[in-house]
Amino acid sequence: MIVIVLPEPAAEQMLLADANRNQPDALRTIYEQYFPPIYAFIRLRVNDREQARDIAADVFVDFFAAARGRHAPHTSLRAWLFRVARNKIYDHYGKTRQFPTTTLEEWLPGSMDDDPELAVFRTFRLEKLRGALRLLSAEQQEVLILRFGQNLNLQETADLMNKSTSAIKSLQFRAVEALRTILDMGEVGE
Amino acid sequence: MAQLSLIEIFEDCVQRLAAGDTIERCLLLYPAYADQLQPMLETVTTFRDLQVPPREIYQDQALVWEAVQRRIATRPRRRIAPGTQLLAAVVILMLMLSAAWFALTRPELPPQVDAITPIASTETPSPTPPPTATASLTSTSSPTTTVIPSLTMTASQTPSPSATLTPTATQTASPTPSPTASPTSSITPTPSATFAPGCGAPLTAAQAVTKVLEVFPNATILSILQTTKFGGTLVWEVRISGQITVNVDVACGTILTIDRGGTGAETSGDANANENTAGSGDSGSSGSSGNSNENENQNSNDNGNSNDDNGNDDNSGMGSGD
């Protein structure tokens, strides 16, 4: 499993200030620290790897351009980047917000098991999970990815999805419930 | 209500799992909901394992960085805001309209507007001029100058206060401000004025003769010579009967001086002639009717042109300022 260590808020503010002064090192640091979660967020929504790269590049080009101007993020850089990534994904798929349902290829479990049999089992289980995820609505997919895939807290997720925290609680509950139901029914991946 | 409570409990357990707690501990906290919570929390933990392969992330991180650098290098410059664009368009349009208006109205201005430049003056000898005939441009003077032999001109002028007249004239003035005065005014205004371009085409000899005949319609042209006078001004020196020599500016077509040869002096009684020729002679056309009678007092106000007044004041100042 990838452990993403994001900078502390104070350090993030310093990075943003340096980025605003167009310091290449700050921009590079921000990119290296935030690319993995942003890319993972995009990749979990976009089947095509090349498209995911293009969208990620769009996100960071926008950030680099904004970082030097008055539209630079001032508070939560992570929320800003996720928001831009989310908008790019929606731009990519249009207003219908219908995401592809084909299963992803060559994905591996987040953590590797020493036991090959256990690894196969986990791989099989994750394959089912990915299939079940594609059957959910776009909003349900999004809330699960943000909350459990990217570990955004309730408020961040609510801000990003333009919903209240109560709505996010309800949405995530129903999403997990639906995912559980799909997995129990064995409709996917078998 | 129970459903709402379960949603809240589920969120609490999710936060505990994120903080490192275990599913079992959560179930112990909420035993009444354990049956419902357990599969859901297991799904959440399984979902946490759903990650993009690290190898893919690291590979794509380098590729995307290169792409970002390329895009930034070729990114178009920031566009001007639409409001600024509109404002710039309005300003440009106003400038263009102003330029067009100026271009259309500019030719209507008399040539003296920018033709006369300030000049230095020396006067020899110069009797003290009467108060009303000084070269003070702010005063309204109505000198009546009787000029030999038969030219009587009355200038009523309202000089433009913006004009600065410093005649470089060698004036031998005998002012006759009153009608009974004996006019022996002999003024040789030597305007070192450089008549700026813009008066039009240079005056031909024939046009110069026409100018002179407008003022002296009964005169006979004796000779015409192009020469340089008054400190570098190219003039047509027209000698006519009555020993009169008229100097006409080649550049602007204005009569600069009228020399009365009989007295050996020069007079600026052509002030009005100058004015009139300025008003009509610039284009080289024949003069206006108001100039045809040299004995007739010619009032610059007839032209209604303050710029002409400046020119008249120039001459009248010289003519009457003695």
Q: Which domains does chain A possess? A: 9-93 (1.10.1740.10), 116-185 (1.10.10.10)
HEC string for B50-81: CCCCHHHHHHHHHHHHHHHHHHHHHCCCCCCC
Q: Which residue of A61, A81, A118 is the best one to mutate when testing the B interface, meaning the one whose CB has the most B CBs within 10 A?
A: A61
**Is 50 exceeded by the pLDDT of residue B178?**
no
> Do both B260 and B157 map to the same domain?
yes
Residues from chain A contacting residue B49 (CB–CB below 8 Å)? 1, 109-111, 122, 126
B211 and B67, same domain (yes or no): no
- Report A:15-34 residues touching B (Cβ under 8 A): 31-32
Contact A129 B46 (CB under 8 A): yes
Decide if B98 is inside a domain: no
**Any residues with CB less than 8 A from the CB of A100 and at least 6 apart, and which?**
A46, A47, A134
* Pair (B304, B189) in one structural domain: yes
Do B29 and B152 share a structural domain? Answer: no
Strands (E), chain B: 144-147, 151-154, 170-172, 186-188, 221-229, 233-240, 244-249, 255-260, 265-267
**A122, two tokens:** 């986990």
Fill in the DSSP letter of residue A188. S
Closest chain B residue to A53 measured between Cα atoms?
A: B64
Q: Report the gap between the CA of A72 and the closest CA in chain B (Å).
A: 15
pLDDT band at B107 (very low <50, low <70, confident <90, very high): low
Considering the domain boundaries, does residue B95 fall inside one?
A: no
Q: Is residue B85 part of a domain?
A: no
- Provide the pLDDT confidence category of residue B280 given band limits of 50, 70 and 90: very low
- Kindly determine whether residue A106 and residue B53, on different chains, have CB atoms separated by under 8 Å: yes
Is B2's pLDDT higher than 60? Answer: no
In chain A, the residue whose alpha carbon lies closest to the alpha carbon of B66 is A57
Q: A–B: how many Cβ contacts below 8 A? A: 113
Q: What is the pLDDT of residue B291?
A: 40
B242: in domain: yes
Which whole-number Å values give the CA distances from B61 to A84, B54, B70, B140, B215, in the listed order? 18, 10, 14, 88, 95
Which long-range contacts does A44-48 make (Cβ < 8 Å, 24+ apart)?
Answer: A44/A145, A44/A149, A44/B50, A44/B52, A45/A89, A45/A99, A45/A141, A45/A142, A45/A145, A46/A89, A46/A92, A46/A99, A46/A100, A47/A100, A47/A102, A47/A104
Is the Cβ pair A31, B71 closer than 8 Å? no
Highest-confidence range of A134-148, B148-162, B253-267, by mean pLDDT?
A134-148
Classify residue B281: in a domain, yes or no.
yes
Backbone φ and ψ of B39, nearest 5°: -65, -35
Residue B195, sorted as left (phi over 0), alpha (psi -120 to 50) or beta, turns out to be: beta
Whether residues B151 and B296 fall in one domain: yes
In this structure, the answer to whether residues B163 and B251 fall within a common structural domain is yes
Question: Are residue B167 and residue B302 in the same domain, yes or no?
Answer: yes
Establish if B104 belongs to a structural domain.
Answer: no
Whether B7 and B129 share a structural domain: no
- Whether a cis peptide bond, with omega within 30° of 0, leads into A24 is no
Residue B184 CA to residue A71 CA, distance in Å, equals 85
The domain in which residue B22 lies consists of 2-74
pLDDT of B144? 40
Give Cβ neighbours of residue B263 (< 8 Å, ≥ 6 apart).
Answer: B148, B184, B186
Residue of B nearest to A179 (CA): B43
Burial B243-252 (b: 16+ CB within 10 A, else e): ebbbbbbbbb
Indicate if B24 and B161 belong to the same structural domain: no
Interface predicted TM-score (ipTM): 0.78
Residues 49-88 of chain A whose Cβ lies under 8 A from any Cβ of chain B = 49, 52-54, 56-57, 60-61, 64-65, 69
Q: Is residue B244 part of a domain?
A: yes
B298 and B198 in a common domain: yes
pLDDT of residue B254 exceeding 60:
yes
At B81, which amino acid appears?
A
CA distances from A26 to A11, A21, B63, B112 (A): 11, 9, 19, 68
Decide if pLDDT at A108 tops 70.
no
Give phi and psi for B147, each to the nearest 5: -115, 140
Domain membership of residue B86 (yes or no) is no
Q: In the prediction, which pLDDT does A93 show?
A: 73
A100 vs A94, more confident: A94
Q: Say how many domains are in chain B.
A: 2
Which of B39, B74, B109 is the last residue in one of the domains? B74
* Nearest CB partner across the interface for B64, out of A35, A44, A64: A35
- Whether residue B254 sits in one domain with residue B176: yes
The reply to whether B229 and B312 lie within a common domain is yes
Two tokens, residue B232: 């570098």
Do the bridges between strand B144-147 and strand B170-172 make them parallel or antiparallel, or are there none, so unpaired? unpaired
- Angle (CA) B308 B314 B317, round 5°: 130
